[in-house]
Amino acid sequence: MSLKRASNVDPIKNERAGNVREVGSQAIWSLSSCKPGFGVDQLRDDRADTYWQSDGQLPHLVNIQFQRKTTISDIYIYTDYKLDESYTPSRISIRVGTHFNDIQEIEVITLSEPSGWVHVPIKDIRDKPIRVFMIQIAVTSNHQNGRDTHMRQIKIHSPIETPNIPMDNFLNFTTVELQQHATIR
């Protein structure tokens, strides 16, 4: 089952546009609990018909740890109330930091019968993407007060930066005429 694109939320489109990159593959994922066969792999397999099912006490946690400090601009979560009903999370808290004992909550989102991708933009007080070692996505409550939760897919986006180097300006031309000469492949 392909991942449904909500009307205005489509992480893939942004990836294709070349502004951002999905950096989940550079991180180590762990869960607070899961049912066998419904774990991290199902959370990261690009399929909407497989999901993570937790198997413990609220809050259920998804821990994402990077090897280096990574700039994060967006988090996308795919959930579906129609399929999961009481397993659908209703309140999600995003915490970031350096390690387990040093994380702070930066975002709380409330969902109401979501169906598809939920976009959580990550910004600090200065409205810039944050640079962190670790993200923790915590499900604090579910619809209909369910105990366990289903989450079908999570994507993490990092902006493609043009650092302080003249070289990268080569890649930013808008016209094909200039862009084709920008580099040698």
Partner 1 sequence: MIVQEPVQAAIWHCLNHYDYTDAVFLSERLYAEVKSDESLFLLATAYFRNGQKDHAYHILKDRTDASAQCRYLFGICAYELEKYAEAEDVLLENQSGSNSMDNIVEEFGDQAAFALVLLGKIAAKTERKARAIDAWKRALKLNPFLWSSFESLCKIGDKPNPQNIFQINNMENLSMCHGNSINNIESVVITTNAISQDNQETFNTPPPSQQILTNFNPNMNAKQLCTPEDSPLAAPLCMSGIRPIQGTRKVMRVKPETGSNSPQPTFGQFFDSPSDYGSPTFSQPMLPGSNSHHQSLAKRMRAQVDLFINRKESIFQNCKPVFSQSTNVPATKTPTIPLAIQPCQNVRRSSRLFSNNYSVKENNKSPNRNKFATPKSPSRKTKQRISKCNLNKNSSYTELNTRNKMEKEKSETVTSSETEKSAIPPSATAESCIEQAIQMQRQSAEGLMCLLRDIGEAYLDLSQFNCVTAIERLNSLPPNQFNTSWVYCLLGLAYFEQADYETCVKYFSEVHDKEPYRLEFMDVYSTALWHLQKEVVLSALAQDLVNLNKNSPITWCVSGNCFSLHKEHDTAIKFFQRAVQVDPHFPYAYTLLGHEYITTEELDKAMSCFRNAVRLDPRHYNAWFGIGTIYSKQERYRLAEMNYAKALSINSRSSVILCHIGVVQHALKETEKALATFNTAINNNPKSPLCKFHRGSVYFALGRHAEALKELEELKEIVPKESLVYYLIGKVHKKLGNTDLALMHFSWATDLDPKGASSQIKEACDPAFGRSNPDIETPASPSPEEYPSESNSEPRAAPINYNGLPDDSEDSF
In the complex, the residues that contact partner 1 under the rule CB under 8 A are: 15-19, 21, 25, 71, 73, 126-129, 131, 159, 161-170, 172-185
Question: At closest approach, how far in Å is the CB of 110 from partner 1?
Answer: 24
SS3 call for 117: strand
Question: At closest approach, how far in Å is the CB of 153 from partner 1?
Answer: 16
Question: At closest approach, how far in Å is the CB of 172 from partner 1?
Answer: 4
Helices (H), 18-80: 40-43
Q: Smaller CB distance to partner 1: residue 7 or 164?
A: 164
Question: At closest approach, how far in Å is the CB of 94 from partner 1?
Answer: 17
Residues pairing with 131 in the sheet = 71
Q: Smaller CB distance to partner 1: residue 104 or 179?
A: 179
Q: Smaller CB distance to partner 1: residue 15 or 107?
A: 15
Q: Smaller CB distance to partner 1: residue 101 or 164?
A: 164
Distance CA 91, CA 88 (A): 9
Distance CA 106, CA 3 (A): 27
Dump the DSSP string for 122-179. Answer: ---TTSS-EEEEEEEEEEEEEGGG-SS-EE-EEEEEEE----S-GGGGGGG-SSHHHH
